[in-house]
Amino acid sequence: MRTLVIVAHPNIATSRVNSSWLNSLVNEKKFKIKNLIELYPNYAFDIDQEQQDLSEAERIILQFPLFWYSCPAILKKWMDDVFTPGFAYARHGDKLKGKELMLCISVGAPEDGYRATGFNNFTLDELLRPFQQTANYIKARFLPPFIFYQSVFATDEQIADSTRAMVNHVTGACEPPSITYEKLLLSAEAMNIALVS
């Protein structure tokens, strides 16, 4: 599996979580890794190069800290500039079709805050809809994201654990959920339970 990791942290020098993930991915030596702020401190992307790297990848990882319930500006601009018509969408824009897209995100607040009635009101699944729909629009397959909550309060040990879990997630099979509605109906039938549909 050819995996491309786009690391989008505007201040990786002060990062605890994303820098740990980045170092560990580099040590694995099996990923193509692009640290955007190092390559493009002025956010002036080499669009041809970025598109070529994307074209060669089978799985694309977008790694970033959650900033204002979304991605940092450097990743938003990268997407705006690189996902062009004719490349990612519109006429002949099928170069990302069928590729896997995965988000790996560090989130400052605890998971408990991200739900209805929690202080952030919405789940991460809800807040990440624009990324999911972007994947749909470019005909990529949106994989389950890796989310590390409470990143700003994490101990070194928790960060080390998150790093191992993140690398596993990035390399994992990421099959679609095993429970389909059809399977649910079959089990219900076997158990003689009537489901209202």
Ligand X SMILES: Cc1cc2nc3c(=O)[nH]c(=O)nc-3n(C[C@H](O)[C@H](O)[C@H](O)COP(=O)(O)O)c2cc1C
Under the rule (CB under 6 A), what is the footprint of ligand X?
9, 15-18, 65-69, 106-109, 151-152
Q: Find the helix or strand (DSSP H, E) in which 67 lies.
A: none
Q: CB of residue 20 vs ligand X: minimum separation in angstroms?
A: 8
**Strand-strand pairing, 3-7 and 100-106:** unpaired
Helix/strand/coil (H/E/C) assignment for every residue in 136-159 = HHCCCEECCCEEECCHHHCCHHHH
Q: CB of residue 153 vs ligand X: minimum separation in angstroms?
A: 10
Q: CB of residue 12 vs ligand X: minimum separation in angstroms?
A: 8
Q: CB of residue 145 vs ligand X: minimum separation in angstroms?
A: 14
Q: Cβ closer to ligand X: 69 or 142?
A: 69
**Exposed e or buried b for every residue in 9-18, given b needs 16+ CB within 10 A?**
bbebeebebb
Q: Cβ closer to ligand X: 3 or 18?
A: 18
Q: CB of residue 169 vs ligand X: minimum separation in angstroms?
A: 16
Does residue 77 contact residue 67 with C-beta atoms inside 8 Å? no
Q: Cβ closer to ligand X: 68 or 181?
A: 68
Q: Cβ closer to ligand X: 109 or 165?
A: 109
Q: What count of other Cβ atoms lies within 10 Å of the Cβ of residue 144?
A: 14
Taking the C-alpha atoms of residue 105 and residue 18, their distance in angstroms, rounded to an integer, is 8
- 73 forms beta bridges with none
Q: Cβ closer to ligand X: 84 or 123?
A: 123
